[in-house]
Amino acid sequence: MIYNKEPLGWIVEEGSFDPRRTGKCESIFAQGNGYMNIRCALEESYVGERRAAFITGTFNKAMPDEVTELPNLPDVTELKLLVNGERFAMDRGELKNYSRALNLKTGEAVRELEWTGANGAALRFSFRRFVSLDNDHLAAFAMDVTPVNGPVDLVLESGISTRTNNSGSQHCTEGEKRLVDGSILRLSTRTSQSDIPVAVHCAHKFQPAPATSLPVMERRRFVNRYTFRLEKGETLHMEKLACYHTGRDEGFTTYGQPAGTLNADQVCAAGDLCMEKALQSSYEDLLAASARRWEAYWNEQDVEIESEDSFDQLGMRFALYHLNIMIKRDDSRVGIGAKGMTGEGYKGHSFWDTEMFLMPHYLFTDPAAARTLMEYRWRSLPGAFKKAEENGYQGAMFPWESAWLDDGEVTPLFGGADVVTGKSIPILTGMIEHHISADVSWGVWLYYMATKDDAYMEKCGCEILVETARFWASRLEWKEEAGRYEICNVIGPDEYKEHVSNNAFTNYLVAENMDKACLVIGEMKEKWPAAWKHLSAKYDLEALVKELQDKRAKLFLPQPNEEGIVPQNDQYLGLEKIDLSKYKSQTGVSSIYEDYSPVQMNKLMVSKQADTVMLLRVMPDLFDAETRRKNFLFYESRTLHDSSLSHGQHCVMAAWLGLTDMALDMYRHAITIDLGPNMTSSDEGIHSASMGNVWQCAACGFAGLQWHEEGLSLQNSLPSAWKRLSFHAHWRGANLKITLTPGELKVENVSGPKVDLILNGKKVQAAQGETVTA
Amino acid sequence: MIYNKEPLGWIVEEGSFDPRRTGKCESIFAQGNGYMNIRCALEESYVGERRAAFITGTFNKAMPDEVTELPNLPDVTELKLLVNGERFAMDRGELKNYSRALNLKTGEAVRELEWTGANGAALRFSFRRFVSLDNDHLAAFAMDVTPVNGPVDLVLESGISTRTNNSGSQHCTEGEKRLVDGSILRLSTRTSQSDIPVAVHCAHKFQPAPATSLPVMERRRFVNRYTFRLEKGETLHMEKLACYHTGRDEGFTTYGQPAGTLNADQVCAAGDLCMEKALQSSYEDLLAASARRWEAYWNEQDVEIESEDSFDQLGMRFALYHLNIMIKRDDSRVGIGAKGMTGEGYKGHSFWDTEMFLMPHYLFTDPAAARTLMEYRWRSLPGAFKKAEENGYQGAMFPWESAWLDDGEVTPLFGGADVVTGKSIPILTGMIEHHISADVSWGVWLYYMATKDDAYMEKCGCEILVETARFWASRLEWKEEAGRYEICNVIGPDEYKEHVSNNAFTNYLVAENMDKACLVIGEMKEKWPAAWKHLSAKYDLEALVKELQDKRAKLFLPQPNEEGIVPQNDQYLGLEKIDLSKYKSQTGVSSIYEDYSPVQMNKLMVSKQADTVMLLRVMPDLFDAETRRKNFLFYESRTLHDSSLSHGQHCVMAAWLGLTDMALDMYRHAITIDLGPNMTSSDEGIHSASMGNVWQCAACGFAGLQWHEEGLSLQNSLPSAWKRLSFHAHWRGANLKITLTPGELKVENVSGPKVDLILNGKKVQAAQGETVTA
């Protein structure tokens, strides 16, 4: 189990060793800095381990029948340790006083243990490691070993391995190995198809010095083999530094300039220099420099929760920790992967998660980072144009899964087994989950509303809104008999349902997309003249507005039926109801697929995740309160929450509906998606969108944060178990400190211009230094 | 340790489980049939395991900076077993009554054990497996599990994985997964560069039937997940069949026809049919069919040794077992890998091992198999022409390492670490270890001498001899001051010595090569007219003979010095002598490279392996007995036997020199190269050439088998510890049964024409059915 260790709310601890948690702990304890992440695989090896290091943007296609993905780069974490000839591993011999903990405050992971091998030698171990927030390229490891019942002979092998791969797919060439300056191990490799040079360096320091030291070069493996003779009570202290550099590191400038194009020699030289410099500092000094960056982060971004259950706080900080290491805040060539860079799940690809689940967090805590994400979408337009063209449409059809800027659609074609046909299940999302294009536009408008960043609108936002609207105009299907436009054969947010018609979420967001496109076309010439120049050179904008308005007016928007239920799609309300209790109480994921094929699932009234509920959440003013409530309760009862995207959004909606107990229950589900008892659900990496959701639960749910043209609104919906909730939110240039206690909602304008607020439904203003309460 | 279990001489047993022997046992217990080999990785997983399945001739180049190699194809051996939720593995919990044994007589491997997990459940396991000698494509596995102290819940996952790779390099596409007929798992993949379709099938039978069964398709992994509830004492019996088919399987005809070119659909269909048919039989029946083939093999090919130490017999049978599974006797598109197909070491490439160490065995036990090997060389001529041209020479320069027919030179460019420079050591053998071309020619002539196969000579042999002689004629260097041709800047058999001049082994074999070329050119027009037609159309053969004779006459052939020592090369006798005792007693390999760089090694009077001793062995009549003796003792004292090629040839020479105790000691070293206590030396696969050497020790050494134009000679040199040695040898169409006892040498002509023999130096003749003694 995962525990909340003292100081409560800051330390995620695995209190006992269980090899079944190998993958989970590698993911949740992963460390990084937005440039790179290293999974927290233990130094010694275990069956089922998945050592991995990922660097943002290094996408590569390993094989002709695969899609591009983030490669698992060479490993530096492995450390082979022979104690009197016996391999050290905690699942053999006797283990005592084990603790493994990630300190969210400093970013350091520490493992302590005592171990007695089969040959009787007992040792005390301490392992520490971090990936630097102060130097993107740097990772550091420390180990202390002390024999406690007699002298021991130690053999230690440590270095770099290119044997790592993505579930068997290899992305890196074997590369060139070189011992630099007699002590630094360097491995220079390339990705096989995208041809990105990658240099990995590592070096070791020991106290006392090893008796012998020997470089060993094997296939795809370059280590030093050290031997030691340690007396009883004598501590061997090791420090290992490693750094990663790639050809995509530098030469990057905003807005469409050529991406970083360092060659292999330059990459190696950058690593040589980095390592040389780092070796002048101790592990402690390097850690302190990184921890100072973490301290600054927490000062700005902490969300404080005083709850009866301190795990509520831990879950929030855990989310914030991962939200900080998953994003490269200053590089708009890259998005955020569905698993961040903590595992190979979803191949490092970006989904609608960005706009719907992650962007709100960044937007209200670090608007510049949100801009990076929304620039990434703009820079991905070539791929969206390509996808539209390939599918016979116009404008920008964003890929369901995005990787490098010009990759276009990268969704794999096949998934798990169809229990009925015995074939791989085709993955249709890349083909027919079209709402992504409207989601991106929704994000663009949200970004603009919260920042009034006209420069972004002029350069990027207008073009996205217009091009996605053009896509929709070409995508809509005229139904003569009904006298309306429809959108058929799609997948909505609920991925259990394929080939549906008029998914409410999709249709409403498409309407919004077209509305906003018309709005900006109307204002563009004055407000964003460069955009107007660019787009009017390509299109007859007047005619385009007319077409959009006409089609928008005739677009079918599903309305509540006589029971007040908005049909999720044309088919949903007529589907067969089955008893869902078996699946509602599932401990794993997707257990329903063990009983039903996708074709069968399509015929059952069961949802994977928030769909119409998502619509209610992202367009909160669409229906009246009673309709929202009815639909929320109806759809929740048919939903298995078989997606990590689901609980958090239900929490927000429940809080908005005043169902604060239910909301807290949903929150606690959301924070246990990765931290909970399920031993395998995080094997492929943590759930990025869920981290954004956890922030949304508190900020948008319990604090009721909503965005309106007329201002930022907040609503105190603190659950009874919580005594205090406080966090910072940025709004139109102001940095607001928001504090909720039972019965009180307080907003301090820490810095920035005077802003309009709506507190518990009441309009107020707050100038810099001013505190308003409700 | 590896034991000799009852019935003695037939069973190789690992008597206790030690995870440090993981790689060794995977290699030595590997099973196969010449078409494919499967390493004997245990069903459950361990750290450091290397599951592998190899199929002859499926060469592929995984990455641009690698060379082509035999790919590790998808795995079918893994079996994940959860006992009451706890993963079964012998290195945890309590293990009792463990035994793992390979029955050389039947080719079956059996593992028995009792295990108690940490949760207290105790079970008895029996695992059995074989790769069929009756159906090249088929492997079969059986398991019995019985709970002994209470009921247990079992979860079992078994199927096919394409996550296997060669030390991290992936050769296979992810491929297409399909459940055929509801129960057969099929995975259809391709090699990434050579584009060979590969289909892998497997299916399971259970008694009793599983409670549930679910197909699981993950990335590069396709398994069925079964669950069982077993009562105390109830035995679950599982049978698993698997088959492999590739696009290179069929359509093969002798002499240069296009190789097998089945497409993916045909390969899948072949597998479907194979599996369907196999599923009609039980494990026992399939095993019996395979065991019958083994019985026929042993009836023909057994070498019986009655020794004070029955391990002498086991070591021989172990060698014969591997000699049988490493060769595809009827497919001349493929050679024999330096590790057979038991591991990824040396990448499945063929070396001079073929002619010098392996071919004699096949030639005297199954001449048709020897012809296959010698045809492989002829079919590889295009690669040899290419290599000569690339290096500025004429004729055929055979690759030091050979793979597919037209690959040419495939030696990798870099090896281990240079301890002085910190760089990878360049591998020069592919560039300058030239003797291979003369070795091939030596093999051609040996093959012809022992078979008088004029059809081979006419089609293949003459061309090889002439083209290699043409290469040498262009390769020789005229030294004006000495008035002779020399061969400088080469590596001889002793690979510690690079860039040497006039390696005696090389120069003498080159002379022999040129002599034999002149001989066949002289006789060709009459004896092998098609060869004459082919070659005389390309060359002025008369002029060629003149050139060859002239150069041959002026080729420098190193002579014994005043102490009677033939210099290994121009430099050797002047090198620095160091104390070698430290390295002579090494337990691992290449320990001297931990102290010296290749450049330093070049300056020391130390040899890796038989070099001049090899010359004495392959050209036994070159020097008088006293010179042979002196040179043998001198060079042996400077030799670390740091190559598996060394001990066996020293054994033969020692026996010839009457040093039978020393010969027996060398034999025992040779049989422990793979079976001995070194836990890691066989990790990358068994040592094929060593297996051929073991046969040579007995046949050529202790029985003194030599080949001469005037007949086959035998000499009784039985060591005192041996009471009897008997084996079959084929000579010019006759199948001879040879039996040695102390003081008696008996030869029975079992079948075939009358042959000339030289027994203990005396000429005799033996007609069919006749037995002669000496």
Q: Helix/strand/coil (H, E, C) string of A400-447?
A: CCECCCCCCCCCCCEEEECCCCCEEEECCHHHHCCCHHHHHHHHHHHH
Please say if the pLDDT value at position A581 is more than 90. no
Q: How far apart are CA A127 and CA A143, in angstroms?
A: 5
* Measured CA distances, A718 to A726, A748, B511 (Å): 11, 18, 96
Nearest CA in chain A to B423: A178
Contacts of A166 in chain B (CB under 8 A): 219
Candidates B173, B178, B417; nearest CB to A65: B173
Interface contact A80, partner B, CB < 8 A: no
Token pair in block for residue B505: 């082994």
Give the residue from B42, B47, B157, B268 with the most A CB atoms within 10 Å of its CB, the best one to mutate: B47
Give the number of other CB atoms < 10 A from CB of residue A171.
Answer: 31
Q: What is the pLDDT of residue B49?
A: 97
pLDDT in tens, A163-207: 999 999 999 999 999 999 989 999 999 999 999 999 999 999 999
SS3 category, A480: coil
Candidates B173, B215, B423; nearest CB to A63: B173
C-beta of residue A422 within 8 angstroms of C-beta of residue B182: yes
pLDDT confidence tier of residue B256, bands split at 50, 70 and 90: very low
Q: What is the pLDDT of residue B260?
A: 66
A213: which strand partners?
A226
Token pair in block for residue A298: 């927490």
Please say if the pLDDT value at position A324 is more than 70. yes
Q: How far apart are CA A589 and CA A489, in angstroms?
A: 26
pLDDT in tens, B312-330: 999 999 999 999 999 999 9
Interface contact A214, partner B, CB < 8 A: yes
- Beta strands at A755-759 and A711-714: parallel, antiparallel or unpaired: parallel
C-beta of residue B108 within 8 angstroms of C-beta of residue B129: yes
Candidates A45, A46, A217; nearest CB to B424: A217
Interface contact A223, partner B, CB < 8 A: no
C-beta of residue A608 within 8 angstroms of C-beta of residue A642: yes
* Measured CA distances, B768 to B362, B710, B754 (Å): 22, 19, 6
pLDDT in tens, B180-227: 998 999 999 999 999 999 999 999 999 999 999 999 999 999 999 999
Candidates B162, B170, B173; nearest CB to A64: B173
Residues 39-78 in A contacting B (C-alpha not used; CB under 8 Å): 45-48, 62-66
DSSP code at position B258: P
* Measured CA distances, B22 to A634, B13, B26, B40 (Å): 57, 14, 6, 9
B230: which strand partners?
B152
Interface contact A95, partner B, CB < 8 A: no
Q: What is the mean pLDDT of chain B?
A: 95
Please say if the pLDDT value at position A254 is more than 70. no
Q: What is the pLDDT of residue B160?
A: 98
Please say if the pLDDT value at position A328 is more than 80. yes
Contacts of B424 in chain A (CB under 8 A): 176-178, 217
Question: How large is the angle between the packed helices B462-475 and B541-553, nearest 10 degrees?
Answer: 50
Interface contact B91, partner A, CB < 8 A: yes
Chain A nearest CA to B173, separation (Å) = 6
Q: What is the pLDDT of residue B255?
A: 43
Nearest CA in chain B to A219: B167
Q: What is the pLDDT of residue B418?
A: 85
Determine, for residues B174 and A65 on separate chains, whether the beta-carbon distance falls below 8 Å: yes
Please say if the pLDDT value at position B686 is more than 50. yes
Q: Report the candidate in A266, A274, A309 with the shortest Cα–Cα distance to residue A671.
A: A309
Q: What is the pLDDT of residue B706?
A: 97
Contact residues for A343 (Cβ-Cβ < 8 A; gap 6+)? A23, A26, A27, A30, A39, A50, A52, A682, A683, A684, A685, A686
Mean pLDDT of A608-620: 96
Contact residues for B544 (Cβ-Cβ < 8 A; gap 6+)? B466, B469, B470, B521
Residues of B noted as catalytic:
495
C-beta of residue A524 within 8 angstroms of C-beta of residue A462: yes
pLDDT confidence tier of residue A251, bands split at 50, 70 and 90: low
pLDDT confidence tier of residue A259, bands split at 50, 70 and 90: low
Instruction: Give yes or no for a cis peptide into B208 (omega within 30° of 0).
Output: yes
Instruction: Give yes or no for a cis peptide into B426 (omega within 30° of 0).
Output: no
pTM of the model: 0.95
| Higher pLDDT among residues A416 and B465, named by residue | B465
Please say if the pLDDT value at position A589 is more than 80. no
pLDDT confidence tier of residue A588, bands split at 50, 70 and 90: low
Q: How far apart are CA A39 and CA A75, in angstroms?
A: 10
DSSP code at position A21: G
Contacts of A594 in chain B (CB under 8 A): 214
Q: How far apart are CA B626 and CA B579, in angstroms?
A: 26
Contacts of B62 in chain A (CB under 8 A): 170
Q: Report the candidate in B428, B411, B423, B436 with the shortest Cα–Cα distance to residue B496.
A: B428
Give me the helices (H) in A638-701, please.
Answer: 646-656, 660-675, 688-696
Q: What is the pLDDT of residue A275?
A: 97
Containing B306, the helix (H) or strand (E) segment is strand B304-307
Mean pLDDT of B738-755: 97
pLDDT-above-90 percentage for chain A: 90
Candidates A65, A92, A178; nearest CB to B422: A178
> A382, exposed or middle or buried, with CB in 10 Å at 0-12, 13-18, 19+?
middle
Please say if the pLDDT value at position A423 is more than 90. no
Give the number of other CB atoms < 10 A from CB of residue A391.
Answer: 15
pLDDT in tens, B712-734: 999 999 999 999 999 999 999 99
pLDDT in tens, A98-111: 999 999 999 999 99
Query: What b/e sequence results for A187-219 when a residue is b if at least 16 CB atoms lie within 10 Å of its CB, and e otherwise?
Result: bbbbbbbbebbbbbbbbbebeeebeebbbbbbb
Determine, for residues A177 and B222 on separate chains, whether the beta-carbon distance falls below 8 Å: no
Q: How far apart are CA A743 and CA A716, in angstroms?
A: 7
pLDDT confidence tier of residue B5, bands split at 50, 70 and 90: confident
pLDDT-above-70 percentage for chain A: 98
Q: What is the pLDDT of residue B254?
A: 41
Token pair in block for residue B87: 């993963």
pLDDT confidence tier of residue A257, bands split at 50, 70 and 90: very low
C-beta of residue B608 within 8 angstroms of C-beta of residue B496: yes
Q: What size, in residues, is chain B?
A: 774
In Å, how far from its chain's centre is CA A466? 28
Chain A nearest CA to B168, separation (Å) = 4
Q: For the complex shown, is ipTM > 0.95?
A: no
Residues 119-178 in B contacting A (C-alpha not used; CB under 8 Å): 161-170, 173-178
Mean pLDDT of B630-640: 96
Instruction: Give yes or no for a cis peptide into B558 (omega within 30° of 0).
Output: no
Contact residues for B235 (Cβ-Cβ < 8 A; gap 6+)? B144, B145, B146
SS3 category, A559: coil
Q: What is the pLDDT of residue A252?
A: 53
Please say if the pLDDT value at position B375 is more than 70. yes
Q: How far apart are CA B278 and CA A269, in angstroms?
A: 59
Nearest CA in chain B to A166: B163
Contact residues for A39 (Cβ-Cβ < 8 A; gap 6+)? A26, A27, A30, A50, A51, A52, A53, A77, A342, A343
Q: Which of A313-322, A735-744, B640-649 has the lowest mean pLDDT?
A: B640-649
Candidates B168, B175, B218; nearest CB to A220: B168
Please say if the pLDDT value at position A467 is more than 90. yes
Match 């010359």 to its residue by tokens.
B615
Contacts of A43 in chain B (CB under 8 A): none
SS3 category, A326: coil
Give me the helices (H) in A528-568, please.
Answer: 529-538, 541-553
Interface contact B377, partner A, CB < 8 A: no
pLDDT confidence tier of residue B595, bands split at 50, 70 and 90: confident
Chain A nearest CA to B492, separation (Å) = 25
Interface contact B422, partner A, CB < 8 A: yes
Contacts of B413 in chain A (CB under 8 A): none
Match 């679910």 to its residue by tokens.
B214
Candidates B20, B174, B419; nearest CB to A214: B419
pLDDT in tens, A79-102: 999 999 999 999 989 999 999 999
Q: What is the pLDDT of residue B257?
A: 44
DSSP code at position A608: S
Residues 522-551 in A contacting B (C-alpha not used; CB under 8 Å): none
Containing A102, the helix (H) or strand (E) segment is strand A94-103
Residues 170-199 in A contacting B (C-alpha not used; CB under 8 Å): 170, 173-180, 182, 192
Torsion angles phi and psi, residue B728, rounded to 5? -95, 145
Mean pLDDT of A222-245: 98
Q: How far apart are CA B316 and CA B320, in angstroms?
A: 6
Q: How far apart are CA B66 and CA A771, in angstroms?
A: 67
Number of cross-chain residue pairs from A and B with Cβ atoms under 8 Å apart: 136
Interface contact B582, partner A, CB < 8 A: no
